[in-house]
Structure 1
Amino acid sequence: MRISILALEGLFDTGLTVILDAFTLANKFSAGQMGGTPYFDVSIVGVRKKVRSGQGLAIPVQAVTAGLKPDWVIVPALNTGTPEQLVPALGRPDVSQAKVQLLKWHAEGALIAASCIGTFLVAETGLLDHREATTTWWLGPLFRQRYPNVLLDESRMLVPSDVGVTAGAAMGHLDLALWLIRRASPELAALVSRYLLADIRTSQAPYIIPNHLAQADPLILRFEKWARDHLKSGFSLQEAASALATSARSLQRRCQEVLGKSPLAYFQDLRVERAQSLLHGSGMDLDAIAAEVGYVDGATLRTLLRQRLGRGVRDLRADLR
């Protein structure tokens, strides 16, 4: 499998290195312990002759040539963690060149993989329009605003499509590399993941901080404060809208536009976050915690936690041990 990693100025160092380390291990095992030849022909390419990482390290890139025909192109994240940094970066000349090159590779049959903020660059090309995708969870509101035609679900860690695959935040680069290795050989991916003490995660939901998402919009921020004050008493869309001096319809629409979910779903996110905090630090039993977040008994809360986080109460408590 021919893989080209598209390196741009100021990329996220960890994203690039974990991808390289994963494929290096995979090639080592496939050529050595598994008695075969290396599965992956990996190259780092750039639209500029000289590229430096976000930490200022020189990255040895190959020039993009007409003869370069990758099966997969991987787009690592830029080291731009806020909208104020990211939006100007997307307008850089080298990013514009990279977009043109991605479209050319795609037209020639290459599949495109991107993680974290790298997904923004792919979305800029229009290739993700009307397709499911994920991105770094804390920039979900910006992604949704900038690319309304993309079917975004930032709760997921990996989202394949006919264009390729998108992955979630930061260490999602490793999930992405393991996913690609698994396509070639599940046995090889299992071996690499054991050496790296890592495995593919299916969800970003346990890592999402609702307050960070609320910062994207003044009305959502006010709704978050109202919701936190009413976790114990329960949710009423009409009460929330009245308290915020808006209509229920406007609140519903704004939550969908910014967060990609209903006010009730966001209220449930806050309940889950509060319940997790109490599970980890309060010493309270599950029924008492359920009462604190507005449920009659612990069974209902247990079901909600498993639905949202994919883990049971025992697993969540064990995180502290």
Structure 2
Amino acid sequence: MRIAVLALEGLFDSGLTVTLDAFATANSLSGKLLGGTPRFDVTVVGVRKKVTSAQGLIIPVKPITPDLKPDWIIVPALRATTPETLLPSLQRPDVRQAKAQLLQWHQEGAQVGSSCIGTFLIADAGLLDGREATTSWSLAPFFRQRYPKVLLDETRMLVPSAIGVTAGAAMGHLDLALWLIRKASPELASLVSRYLLADIRSSQAFYIIPNHLAQADPLISHFERWSRDHLQEGFSLQEAAKALGTSTRSLQRRCQAVLGKSPLAYFQDLRVERAQALLHGSGMDVEAIATEVGYVDGATLRTLLRDRLGRGVRELRADLR
């Protein structure tokens, strides 16, 4: 598999290095333990002769030449954590040149993989219109605002599509690399996972902070505060809209536009977050926690936690130790 890693100025250092380390480990194990030849021909390329990482390190890149015909292009994330820092980066000349190169490679048959902020660059190139994708959960509201044609689901860690695959926040770069290794050889991917003490994660939901997402919009921020005050009472769309001085329809539309979900679904997210906190530090049993977040019994809460987080109560208590 021929892989071109497209390095851009100010990239997220760990995103690049963890990607390269995963493929280097796979090639080493393929030869030493599986008796085969290296599976991955990885080239770090740049649209500029000199590329400096966000931490100031010089990235050795090769120029893009006509004879470079990758099977996959990987776009590491830029180091940007807010819309205010990301937007100028997407408008840089080198980023515009990189998008044009991505489109050319894609037209020649290459697939595209990205993680975290890298997904913004692919979406900016128009490659994700009408397709499912994921990105850094913390910038999901901004992503929805900027790319309304993309079917975003930030709760997922990996989302394959016809153009390639997108992965979640920050260390999702490792999940992306392991996913590509698994496509070549499940046995090799299992070995790499063991050597790196890493597994492909299916969901970002466990890591999402609902309060952070709410700050992207004033109405949603007010709705979040109202919801936290009414977790024990249960959800009423009519009461929420009345308290916020808006219509039920407006609240529903705004939640969908900013959060990609209904007001009730976001209310449930807050219940899950509160339940997680109580499982960790309160010493309360499941029945008492269920009452605290507005459920009549622990069974309903157990089902909600399993559906949303992919973990049961016992696993969550172990995760939070």
TM-score range, shorter chain: over 0.9
CA displacement 1:10-63 (0-9 Å, x = unmatched): 000000000011000000011121111000000100000000000000000000
| SS of match in other structure, 1:169 | coil
Does structure 1 residue 166 correspond to structure 2 residue 166?
yes
Residue segments in structure 2 that go unaligned for 5+ positions in a row: none
Give the 5 Å matches for 1:250-265.
250-265=250-265
CA displacement 1:212-265 (0-9 Å, x = unmatched): 000100000000000000000110000000000000000000000000000000
- 2:48 corresponds in structure 1 to 48
Q: CA RMSD in A?
A: 0.5
- 1:10 corresponds in structure 2 to 10
Give the 5 Å matches for 1:94-113.
94-113=94-113
Does structure 1 residue 314 correspond to structure 2 residue 314?
yes
| SS of match in other structure, 1:112 | strand
Corresponding residue pairs, total: 321
**Letter aligned with residue 129 of structure 2:** D
CA displacement 1:96-148 (0-9 Å, x = unmatched): 00000000000000000000000000000101000000010000000000000
Aligned residues with identical type, % of pairs: 78
Does structure 1 residue 197 correspond to structure 2 residue 205?
no
CA distance in 2, matches of 1:6, 1:290: 48
**Letter aligned with residue 248 of structure 2:** A
Residue segments in structure 1 that go unaligned for 5+ positions in a row: none
CA distance in 2, matches of 1:191, 1:82: 36
Q: Per-residue deviation at 1:64?
A: 0.5
CA distance in 2, matches of 1:122, 1:284: 46
Q: Per-residue deviation at 1:162?
A: 0.7
- 2:210 corresponds in structure 1 to 210
CA distance in 2, matches of 1:13, 1:152: 25
Give the 5 Å matches for 1:17-32.
17-32=17-32
Q: How high is the TM-score relative to the length of structure 2?
A: 1.00
Q: How high is the TM-score relative to the length of structure 1?
A: 1.00
- 1:246 corresponds in structure 2 to 246
- 2:118 corresponds in structure 1 to 118
Does structure 1 residue 35 correspond to structure 2 residue 35?
yes
CA distance in 2, matches of 1:118, 1:298: 40
CA distance in 2, matches of 1:57, 1:81: 19
- 2:146 corresponds in structure 1 to 146
Does structure 1 residue 234 correspond to structure 2 residue 234?
yes
CA displacement 1:173-225 (0-9 Å, x = unmatched): 00000000000000000000001111000000000000000010000000000
Does structure 1 residue 276 correspond to structure 2 residue 276?
yes
| SS of match in other structure, 2:112 | strand
Moved over 3 A (4+): none
Q: Per-residue deviation at 1:152?
A: 0.5
CA distance in 1, matches of 2:211, 2:94: 34
Does structure 1 residue 287 correspond to structure 2 residue 281?
no
**Letter aligned with residue 17 of structure 2:** T
CA distance in 2, matches of 1:128, 1:320: 35
Q: Per-residue deviation at 1:271?
A: 0.1
| SS of match in other structure, 2:235 | coil
**Letter aligned with residue 310 of structure 1:** G
CA displacement 1:143-167 (0-9 Å, x = unmatched): 0000000010000000001100000
Q: Per-residue deviation at 1:320?
A: 3.6
